[in-house]
Structure 1
Amino acid sequence: MKCILKKFSYPLVFLVIALILTQTMCEKIVTPSFGKMCTNISLTNQQNIEKKIIYLTFDDGPSVTTNKILDTLKEKDVKATFFLIGNQIVGFEDTVKRIHKEGHSIGLHTYTHKFKRIYNNNDNFIKEMKHCSDEINNITGVNPNIIRFPGGSRKHLNNEFLCRLHDENFKIYDWNLQVSDGINPNLSSNKLFKEATADNDSISPIILLMHCDYMHKNTCKALPEIIDYYKQQGYIFKPITEDTPELYFPPSKRTLKSIWDIMTSK
């Protein structure tokens, strides 16, 4: 290590140490970052932070439950975002049409949702997203470019992959508030409500993760109360669009490692 450090001036050594400390701090961040840049380790680009905005998002549809959620959204006059799985669309084409027709936004949640396949390599991941987009386009005439990583982008997104996804015109949306229906769909509606409304004072805007597969009946039951709560708190409900600032977990430390490798190779 001493031999390596002799190659650099003290200011440069301090810079490397500062970068390492910065990365250590980034790894401790629990909430995701808003951002569009792919050249910075800590990505922040918060917009409309002063406004109380909430994005209701539903993963793993379409299904019979999706239609019930659409009924509630229509009744409450609220728009939301549905991240759909491509191979579940067959038989629910009318549901996909309804999502689009009623002014909600549609996102991509891969074609198969099979982790081993989609995360085997980056090419597979992109193919899955494009396949899902094609299926939606066949029904609605639009090609969505907003995506959500199954399980979230943490551990799967690094700076290089982030830039590649941006080159493919994809925009990434994780979440900063969630209910546990994806882990345990049998949780009571009261428990789901408490999770959906907990610790929200420090978050703005909110991207709330929920699910709408066939087993998420209690999510349907909790949804009206969740919507009423946020209306009473003065929140504006919006669907995610390509103009919505991205929200994704900080990329992995591979970026920092590559900087270290470059510097120590000189």
Structure 2
Amino acid sequence: MKKKKTLLFFTLLLLMNISCSEFDNSQDIGIDAVSVADSISYPDLVSDSIIETTATIEKSDSLSTRKYIYLTIDDAPLNGSMYIDSIISSEKIKTSLFVVGNAIDGSSRFSRYYKMLQQNPNIEIYNHSYSHANNRYVDFYKNPELVLEDFDKNQSDFDITHKITRLPGRNLWQIGERKKNYNQTGATSADLLVKNGYKVFGWDVEWNYDAKDYMPKQTIDELVEEIEASYNSSRTFTANHVVLLMHDQMFAKVGEKNDLRELITKLKDNNYCFEYLSAYPE
């Protein structure tokens, strides 16, 4: 019995020495004494807290440096819609499409395309007006009330969930209290749209096309360089966020110059994170 008590006594002394040595070492390396003492009594609780704090810091750091790209495609649905749907489905990339209602009403084929695009889980649908200003932009924006009616018709007729718009023929921005490019016709219309609950998006970089054959003017490498330059020079509407404008009709005939999959691959290689405009920061 005495042997057992003696053994227990020395075991307790040994444990106390270990605890003290850990406590002393903690002062040398700058660890909080209370945290270390707690870790001896409640190792699971403290270690979980440390892991959670580290994960939070890493998440915060990654969010502050993340590069966001918004693929936005205007004038859908048109002859490029099937290709767009195919690539976006394959790549599973978040993509934003701005639709024009009179194209859907004017063609049974485009109506089918619209239903197809609606069912794509990687695509969000936004409002590009019903009439596309009938391609008479100056006249269209002379009457802001009619512009609002045009957008409202598109919104309701085609079950567009998000009140996100882009004005035909105008690179105008108004999101919350922030505005850009308001020194042009269409600014009053944009302001009225915002007062009625819409957000108005422009773009930071455009993949330009030739009006004769709708083929891109920039190569994919040139476009990626423009995106990088815009991002690095802070010329974007919001820092770390690049909104890219493309058009449906650019993808009616697809070749090496307008390979959407290659563009997506190169943007991934440049560490861009793809997002919907509905997630764009205010």
State the TM-score, normalizing by the size of structure 1. 0.64
RMSD of aligned alpha carbons: 2.6
Q: 1:209 aligns with which of 217, 233, 245?
A: 245
Change (3 A) 1:166 1:186: closer
Tell me what 1:165 maps to. 193
Paired-residue identity, %: 23
Which SS does the other structure have where 2:71 is aligned?
Answer: strand
Tell me what 1:75 maps to. 90
Which SS does the other structure have where 1:123 is aligned?
Answer: helix
Tell me what 1:179 maps to. 207
Matched, 1:144 2:172: no
Tell me what 2:69 maps to. 54
Distance in 2 of aligned mates of 1:148 and 1:187: 22
Which SS does the other structure have where 1:128 is aligned?
Answer: helix
Which SS does the other structure have where 1:57 is aligned?
Answer: strand
Within 5 Å, give how 1:1-266 maps onto structure 2. 50-90=65-105, 91=108, 92-103=110-121, 104-113=123-132, 114=134, 115-137=137-159, 142-152=160-170, 153=172, 154=181, 155-158=184-187, 161-181=189-209, 183=211, 185-187=213-215, 191-201=218-228, 202-203=230-231, 204-213=240-249, 216-218=252-254, 221-241=258-278, 243-245=279-281
Q: Which amino acid is 2:101 matched to?
A: G
After TM superposition, give the deviation of residue 165 of structure 1 in Å: 2.1
Q: Return 5+ residue gaps in structure 2 as ranges.
A: 1-62, 173-180, 232-239
Distance in 2 of aligned mates of 1:177 and 1:134: 30
- Deviation string for 1:91-143 (max 9, x for gaps)? 22332222222221111111111224531211121111111112211xxxx44
Rg larger in 1 or in 2?
2
- Deviation string for 1:203-243 (max 9, x for gaps)? 131111000037743489421111010111111111221x4
- Deviation string for 1:50-77 (max 9, x for gaps)? 3111111111110231111110111111
After TM superposition, give the deviation of residue 197 of structure 1 in Å: 0.9
Which SS does the other structure have where 1:180 is aligned?
Answer: coil
Distance in 1 of aligned mates of 2:275 and 2:117: 14
| Structure 1 runs (4+) greater than 6 angstroms displaced | none
Asked whether the 8 Å contact 2:141–2:189 carries over to 1, the reply is: no
Asked whether the 8 Å contact 1:119–1:156 carries over to 2, the reply is: yes
Q: Which amino acid is 1:120 matched to?
A: K
- Deviation string for 1:145-183 (max 9, x for gaps)? 11001122241354x655432221100111001111274
State the TM-score, normalizing by the size of structure 2. 0.60
Asked whether the 8 Å contact 1:182–1:210 carries over to 2, the reply is: no
After TM superposition, give the deviation of residue 194 of structure 1 in Å: 3.5
Number of residue-to-residue matches in the alignment: 192
Q: Larger relative contact order (C-alpha < 8 A, sep ≥ 6)? A: 1
Change (3 A) 1:212 1:78: same
